[in-house]
Amino acid sequence: MSDPIVIVSAARTPMGSFQGDFANLAAHDLGGVAIKAAVERAGIKPELVTEVLFGNCLMAGQGQAPARQAAFKGGLPKSAGAVTLSKMCGSGMRAAMFAHDMLVAATAMGRPEQGAAPSGGSEPRAAGSVGAPLHHEVLVAGGMESMTGAPYLLQKGRAGYRMGHDRIFDHMMLDGLEDAYEPGRSMGT
């Protein structure tokens, strides 16, 4: 690898308390603030970013593609691709690891000649487009979450509740803080 892979800036939102000052902000709103600040601190043009990899565990109720929403809210162009991933508490770190791997792969593939079409096509494509070449130089990676924004879930709501009592589920607990392999047990204990 001839070019070093470096982190040129970092940004985060302040940590808020549960049901606190950021209660009305979705995770992608918070992610957008962090993306915008990181790009500004790096002193680069947003158009240079070709891909956003952002971790997010509690996605219910946020709409499609939270990482893409955060990218747009962070001022990145529509040409930048975006991937939302979930690896629980390690989601943001895993996003950074995947970004590193993408940069290594792009370096190993070599840089395309200026104006050359990627193999298999007749027109150059943006890095975030379908069938795009593995060529990235500037990526944004991180994580975003809003436990306050995690909704309650009605697992039988679509089919209907016929009679009697049933349960609603706390998305924050069910998909975030409770061990999936030992229901009722908190993660990390």
Q: What is the pLDDT of residues 41-64, one digit of tens each?
A: 999 999 999 999 999 999 999 999
pLDDT for 46: 98
Task: Flag whether 171 is in a domain.
Answer: yes
Reduced to 3 states (helix: H, G, I; strand: E, B; else coil), residue 127 is coil
100 and 44 belong to one structural domain: yes
How would residue 26 be classed by pLDDT, with cut points 50, 70 and 90? very high
Task: Flag whether 6 is in a domain.
Answer: no
pLDDT for 115: 42
Average pLDDT, the chain: 87
pLDDT for 130: 52
38 and 125 belong to one structural domain: yes
State the amino acid at position 163 in one-letter form: M
pLDDT for 182: 92
pLDDT for 2: 63
- Please, what's the b/e burial string for 104-116 (b: 16 or more CB within 10 A of its CB; e: otherwise)? eebbeeeeeeeee
pLDDT for 119: 38
Among the residue ranges 68-72, 114-118, 160-164, 172-176, the one predicted with the least confidence is: 114-118
46 and 65 belong to one structural domain: yes
Of 123, 143, 163, the last residue of a domain is: 143
CATH number of the domain bearing residue 54: 3.40.47.10
Task: Flag whether 83 is in a domain.
Answer: yes
Summarize pLDDT for 62-111 with one digit per residue, the tens.
999 999 999 999 999 999 999 999 999 999 999 999 999 999 987 766 65
112 and 182 belong to one structural domain: no
Reduced to 3 states (helix: H, G, I; strand: E, B; else coil), residue 87 is strand
135 and 51 belong to one structural domain: yes
User: Per DSSP, what are the bridge partners of residue 141?
Assistant: 53
99 and 187 belong to one structural domain: no
pLDDT for 188: 82
Question: The whole model's pTM is what?
Answer: 0.82
pLDDT for 177: 94
Task: Flag whether 5 is in a domain.
Answer: no
pLDDT for 3: 72
Range of the domain at 128: 27-143
Question: Averaged over 127-136, what is the pLDDT?
Answer: 56
| H helical segments located in 82-158 | 91-109
pLDDT for 120: 38
96 and 163 belong to one structural domain: no
Task: Flag whether 57 is in a domain.
Answer: yes
Question: Averaged over 152-157, what is the pLDDT?
Answer: 93
Task: Flag whether 97 is in a domain.
Answer: yes
Compute how many other C-beta atoms are within 10 angstroms of the C-beta atom of residue 5: 15
- How many distinct structural domains can be found in the chain? 2
73 and 104 belong to one structural domain: yes
156 and 131 belong to one structural domain: no
- 21, pLDDT greater than 80: yes
